[in-house]
Chains A and B, each alone.
Chain A
Amino acid sequence: MPRDLTPSTIENTFVLKALTERIRLDSRSFNQLRDLDISFSSTEYGVVDVKLGRTRVIARISAEITQPYTDRPYDGLFIISTEISPMAAPTFEAGRKSEDELVISRIIEKSIRRSGALDTESLCIISGEKCWAVRADVHFLDHDGGLMDAACIAVSAGLLHFRRPDITIEGVGSRREVIVHPITERVPVPLAVLHVPVCVTFSFFDVRKASSAISGRTRKDEAKDVDEDDVEEEEEEEEDDSSVAVLVDATLQEELLRHGYMSVTANTNREICQIQKGGDMPVDVGVLLSCSEAAIMVAEKVTKLINKRLKEDEARRNVGNLLVEARAENDR
């Protein structure tokens, strides 16, 4: 049954009260991801099915040959399409871009495309004339929170899994021709993936609101002592850390009730690809830093799982070790 999107007072107060006792409704610890399942299509390259708890996202990577943009003749094209249909949740309207959808698509765009996860220069075939256009279509199938996290994992894993057909260029000068070898004839080529970005969303709850039902009251008190010296500021800090509950990978219910969030995209090289902390609920800098560090840890865990699944998939395809022998490049 689809969830109703207006949480009641009871849910609000209970969740906050439970969080002060460090309890989550699904009995997870605060920094625990839901069960993550990644599976690849057995027939096609680049089709990934990611299940994060009850959230489900499918990504499909495809490639075709087109003309590069005139101002960037050496770069291939990489497009990520993230359209949320009512299939994910009845609150999403078909054809109309909601604010959530905007945020999700921008975060995925920044996480994967702008961070240079895919080397677009490697997609160039003949400069200024022909290049590969790689397209990632993300389909959101079920929404129980964490759409962007799941989508980011799906696209990352999809790029790693995808193989494009091999090509050769024949002829010289203006009479060059590109010959595409179907994957049934030649072993297809993997994409040049430079790093594997993993997006982690942290949800912030102001647990002090658990005690004061009137929202804003606590902050008014806070505003009173703005002009205080540094010593007292540090005391305030300690209080702050305990007043913010930080949850990893919120469910839809938690997403509806949270006071603020931050999405961090990290990879295993200890790089932060993107941070987006929306304007809601001001949070201490220290909390934001420790979240970023936690994101790296999650990224390592998720990347490990992606690699494990990729290996399993490869083993399944590589019956009789034929793929290794048919490969064009040799191990150096």
Chain B
Amino acid sequence: MASRMEIFSPEGLRIDGRRWNEVRHFRCAINTHPVSSDGSAIIEQGNTKVICNVIGPVEPTLRSRVVPDRVSISVKVVVAPFSTIDRRKRSQNDSRIQEMCSSIQHVFEDAVIAHLFPRSQIDVNLYVVAQDGGVLQACINATTLALIDAGVPMYDYVCACTAGMLDREVLLDLNRIEESDMPFLTMATIGSKRKVALLQLEMKVQFDRLEPMMAASMSGCHHIRDLMDNEVRKHGKSRLERGSL
């Protein structure tokens, strides 16, 4: 366990040199795997890296997945064995991974305009290539971009961000070391409003600290939304110039 001094210095700098309200280096790209999927995206948030492939809307392969009046989304998360320092193969049945799949599925079943594609299915495949904290948020952000690339109609961007609470200091967008050292929450918002689609808090925190954490993560979400929006527009422009739109 790192001491408080290392996590947040008296000068207000974090272990990787950020201020409390700075998100990590954010890089994203869409349409990265045009052959293998209908929509794809890569996201890097700090050292966390996630690839997302979207296939669909297609006819469901399983009859049990047919929902008569809306599209069903099936999410699969694969965590690469080399994604952490200790090389370890994670089973698909890991309850944490399953929970993550179900969270992502529910977020997007309400974020896409589901009634436009009755009796069909969208497959979302997520590959966690490197993890350094905030895996869930990166997965959600990557899914949003891949769905946009696939042309699936959505109400707005779904953006996720984490925020932690160290004593009385709020820290935005935690890395792995920070995550293991303090209670933190993951929040996903729809659009640039105060609408929260997903909220997960896993460790004990004083109620009074909750509000600043939520406020910080929300502003982080909105910031990430702008970053993703820029990338999508840039991508669209470049394709327009190439005449491939």
Contacts and interface: CB of A to CB of B under 8 A. Distances in A.
A237 B194 CA distance: 8
A271 B113 contact: no
A279 B196 contact: no
Interface residues of A, number: 47
B185 A275 contact: yes
Interface string A185-227: 0000000000000000000000000000011100110110011
A277 B199 contact: yes
B205 A272 contact: yes
Contacts of A284: 194-196
Contacts of B98: 102
A299 to B, nearest CB: 10
A271 B192 contact: no
A285 B196 contact: yes
A292 B113 CA distance: 30
Contacts of A277: 196, 198-200
A266 interface: yes
A283 B196 contact: yes
A311 interface: no
A86 interface: no
Nearest to B115: A216
Interface residues of B, number: 46
Nearest to A260: B110
Contacts of B203: 114-115, 273-274
A236 B195 CA distance: 11
Interface in B126-153: none
Nearest to B140: A279
B201 A274 contact: yes
B206 A271 contact: yes
A246 to B, nearest CB: 13
Given A283-B195, A284-B196, A288-B196, A271 B204 contact: yes
A281 interface: yes
B124 interface: no
B198 A271 contact: no
B214 A226 contact: no
Given A102-B95, A292-B210, A279 B107 contact: yes
A99 interface: yes
Contacts of A270: 206-208
Interface stretch (A16-24, A53-61, A103-111): A103-111
Contacts of A273: 203-204
Contacts of B107: 279
Given A223-B155, A272-B204, A289-B210, A280 B196 contact: no
Interface string A277-318: 111111111101100110010000000000000000000000
Given A102-B95, A279-B188, A262 B199 contact: yes
B193 interface: yes
B47 interface: no
B175 interface: no
B102 interface: yes
A223 B195 contact: no
Interface in B104-135: 104-111, 113-115
A279 B201 contact: no
B103 interface: yes
A165 interface: no
Contacts of B102: 99, 102-103, 278
A1 B201 CA distance: 37
Interface string A4-40: 0000000000000000000000000000000000000
Contact of A274 (B103, B110, B192, B202): B202
B110 A282 contact: yes
Interface string A147-176: 000000000000000000000000000000
A216 B112 CA distance: 10
Nearest to B200: A276
B201 A275 contact: yes
A201 to B, nearest CB: 14
A114 B202 contact: yes
A278 B198 CA distance: 5
A110 B104 CA distance: 19
8 contacts: A215-B115, A226-B191, A226-B193, A236-B193, A270-B208, A280-B109, A281-B110, A282-B195
Closest 5 CB pairs of A and B: A279-B107, A279-B106, A282-B195, A275-B201, A277-B199
Interface of A: 99, 102-103, 105-106, 110, 114-116, 214-216, 219-220, 222-223, 226-227, 233, 236-237, 240, 260, 262, 266, 270-286, 288-289, 292-293, 296
Given A275-B200, A280-B109, 11 more contacts: A215-B115, A216-B114, A220-B113, A226-B191, A262-B199, A272-B210, A275-B185, A276-B200, A278-B198, A292-B207, A293-B207
Interface of B: 95-96, 98-99, 102-111, 113-115, 155-156, 185, 188-208, 210-211, 214-215, 218
